[in-house]
Amino acid sequence: MLFNSLDFAIFLPVTFVLYWFIFQKKIRLQNLLIVCASYLFYGWWDWRFLTLIIFSTLVDYTIGSLLKEEQVALKRKIYLWISITINLGFLGFFKYYNFFIESFTEAFLFLGKEIKPNTLNIILPVGISFYTFQTLSYTIDVYKKKLEPTTDFIAFAAFVSFFPQLVAGPIERATNLLPQFYTKRKFDYSLAILGLRQILWGLFKKVIIADNCAKYANIIFNNYEIYDTSTLILGALFFTFQIYGDFSGYSDIAIGTSRLFGFNLMQNFAFPYFSRDIAEFWRRWHISLSTWFRDYLYIPLGGSKGGMKMKIRNTFIIFLVSGFWHGANWTFVFWGFLNALYFLPLLLRSKNRVNTNIVAEGKWLPNLKETIQMLFTFSLTVFAWIFFRADSITHAYNYISSIFINYINAISLSIPNEIFYLITLFLVIEWLGRSSKFAIEKLQFIPKILRWMFYLALILLLFMFAGEEQEFIYFQF
């Protein structure tokens, strides 16, 4: 079920009413409703893959219980690795099987030996990368004794399948989300209003910014040979806004929806395009994944404790794995590698934690230095997104080459002015709200009538300028 669909527009209020009016008396009933609603939400796409979620839930619940009982270190380690193997095994099979087979074939062909392997027609289950990491966080935290294993299976099933963030995050840590299923939820007016506001802003990002940019980004990337330099640069810019609007829009809707049900999820995006360096960008982009890798990969690998060499090695590992997590394609790996390269100078000069505050905090506009830093970081990001969007490394290479070659004898794409006005409006609102969790979080300080007019204006824009309905990009990851 897509957040920007009529199905969800019916599903959400029905679930909300059942949750707060019918099942509100007992917390277990509310959790059970969340499980049922989440399975319906997921099964709407393909009910067959519900078995994967249920299986993952059973495995990790059982492993958690076993870890609680077991005190022998070796056996505890074995239990942990069983969970890791099963979870990553599913992920590996569904997401990477064909990629590895094809890559091996190409490698053998490169060495002069042709092999004919069997590839499978595998459908990638939506959100598998997200819920796999979420359940893994539970087992690892229980193993590390950071979290008491749950004895409430319904609460655990609700934690694994919680529908707002099931298919595209934020990837919640068990230590943050699971305890929220144990405590009685009381309807909180201000939290619910904040949730609705965040949903509205998320829809604006997705339906207006991402879907409209997607249309032109797709045209330009698919026909890059015929377009001129300026159009190709615009294509990369459109994809830059598309991916941000799409993914952060999804996160906003997910967080907002959770708030309607009395849950607090972690912030996933913090205005990353206003970053002054790449390190800041990565502290602001897909925060739930970056911190997951930090906590469960970077730190266990030794983090930054073992000197510069280890720091560099671990940084590259994190970025490459992060790239690979996004999809079974070398383009994602290269995108990760490129970001590691961007990161390297900051790391070598120990400048990766310089910009930890909000840019131009308390001011209307940034100073010249900040502006140049932001533009430079943004340009690096746009360049890297070309690899992320391209179908293959060759496609990305040709696209970039065309930017330098196609300044003559090429055509430019006619793009309606409205799209530029909408992006400008979006950037202005994001800039004004950059010190909040999301751009329009702090609207309660303006008079109610103005606030409502603003909401109505946003809704009007949603109707007037809705792009063609597109699936969320991150569903494929």
Partner 1 sequence: MSSFIKNIVLFCIVGLFFGEVICRLAYVTSDIPSRIIDSNSIQKYNPNQKGHWTGGTHTWIINEDGWPGHLPKSKENLITIIGDSYIENFMNPDSCHQSNFLDKFSPSFNYYEASRSGISFIGAMEIAASLDSLNPIHQLIYVHDADFTESSSIIHKMGDITQFNSKTNSIIPGKLNSPLVKKFLYNWKFIYYLYINYSFTKKENTTTKPEVQVSDKPKLTEEQITELTKLLTYSKNNYDHKNITLVFRPNADPKIITILKDLNFNMLLLKDNKQKEWSFKHDPHWTCIGHEEAAKQISNYILNSK
Positions marked catalytic: 326
* Helices 128-143, 153-161: crossing angle, 10 deg rounding: 140
d(CA 288, CA 474): 14
Q: Quick one: 20 or 96, whose CB is closer to partner 1? A: 20
**Nearer to partner 1 among residue 99 and residue 455 (C-beta):** 455
Q: Three-state SS across 51-116?
A: HHHHHHHHHHHHHHHHHHHCCCHHHHHHHHHHHHHHHHHHHHHHHHHHHHHHHHHHHHHHCCCCCC
Of the ranges 109-117, 238-246, 273-281, 453-461, which one interacts with partner 1 (CB under 8 A)? 453-461
Q: Binding string to partner 1 for residues 237 to 266, with x set by CB under 8 A, is what?
A: ------------------------------
456 binds partner 1 (CB under 8 A): yes
Task: Please state the closest distance from residue 279 (CB atom) to partner 1, in A.
Answer: 41
Taking the complex as a whole, the smallest distance from the CB of residue 454 to partner 1 amounts, in Å, to: 12
Q: Give just the sign of the alpha carbon dihedral 424, 388, 4, 255.
A: negative
Residue whose CB is less far from partner 1, 431 or 455: 455
The nearer residue to partner 1, 25 or 369, going by C-beta atoms, is 25
DSSP letter for 180, please: G
Q: Is 364 in the site for partner 1 (CB under 8 A)?
A: no
Outline where 118-188 has alpha helix (H).
128-143, 153-161, 174-177
Binding segment for partner 1 (CB under 8 A), chosen from 43-51, 350-358, 407-415, 456-464, is 456-464
3-class SS at 192? Answer: helix
Q: Considering beta carbons, is residue 101 or 466 the nearer one to partner 1? A: 466
**How many alpha carbons fall within 13 Å on the CB side of residue 259?**
21
Q: Which residues contact 276 (CB under 8 A, 6 or more apart)?
A: 355, 359, 370, 373, 374, 377
Contact predicate 20/30, CB 8 Å: no
Q: How far is the CB of 184 from partner 1 (least distance, A)?
A: 15
DSSP bridge pairs for 144: none
Nearest residue (CB) to partner 1, 215 versus 395: 215
Smallest separation (angstroms) from partner 1 to the CB of 22: 13
The nearest distance, CB 277 to partner 1, in angstroms, is: 42
Both tokens of residue 225? 């040979």
> What's the number of CA atoms in the CB half-sphere (13 Å) around residue 151?
2
First to last CA, the chain: 16
Task: Tell which positions 4-33 bind partner 1, by CB under 8 A.
Answer: 6, 20
- Give the side-chain half-sphere CA count within 13 A for 99: 18
In the complex, the smallest distance separating the C-beta of residue 143 from partner 1, rounded to whole angstroms, is 41
- The residues that bridge with 411 in the sheet, in sequence order, are 227
- Residues near partner 1 (CB under 8 A), total: 12
Residue closer to partner 1 (CB basis): 204 or 387:
204
Read off the DSSP letter of residue 447. Answer: -
Cα angle 314-325-341, degrees, rounded to a multiple of 5: 45
Rounded least distance, CB 163 to partner 1, Å:
21
- C-beta of 6: minimal distance to partner 1 in Å? 5
In the complex, the smallest distance separating the C-beta of residue 1 from partner 1, rounded to whole angstroms, is 13
- Shorter beta-carbon distance to partner 1: residue 21 or 404: 21
| Contacting partner 1 within 457-476 (CB under 8 A) | 459-460, 463
Q: Does 454 bind partner 1 (CB under 8 A)?
A: no
Binder of partner 1 out of 88, 455, 458, 475 (CB under 8 A): 455
Residue selected from 108, 407, 421, 452 as contacting partner 1 according to rule CB under 8 A: 452
Closest to partner 1 by CB, 67 vs 199, is: 199
Which residues, 174 to 233, sit near partner 1 by CB under 8 A?
Answer: 187, 189, 192-193
Cβ-based burial of 444 (10 A; exposed 0-12, middle 13-18, buried ≥19): exposed
- Enumerate the β-bridge partners of residue 227: 411
From residue 119 to residue 148, what is the string marking binding to partner 1 with x (rule CB under 8 A)? Answer: ------------------------------
The 8-class DSSP code of residue 470 comes to -
Instruction: Give the interface segment with partner 1, choosing from 131-139, 359-367, 403-411, 449-457 (CB under 8 A).
Output: 449-457
Number of other CB atoms surrounding residue 217 within 10 Å: 23
Residue 286 gets the label, from left (phi > 0), alpha (psi -120 to 50) or beta, of: left
* Coil, strand or helix at 121: coil
Which range binds partner 1 by CB under 8 A, 85-93, 197-205, 303-311, 451-459?
Answer: 451-459
Which residues contact partner 1 by CB under 8 A? 6, 20, 187, 189, 192-193, 452, 455-456, 459-460, 463
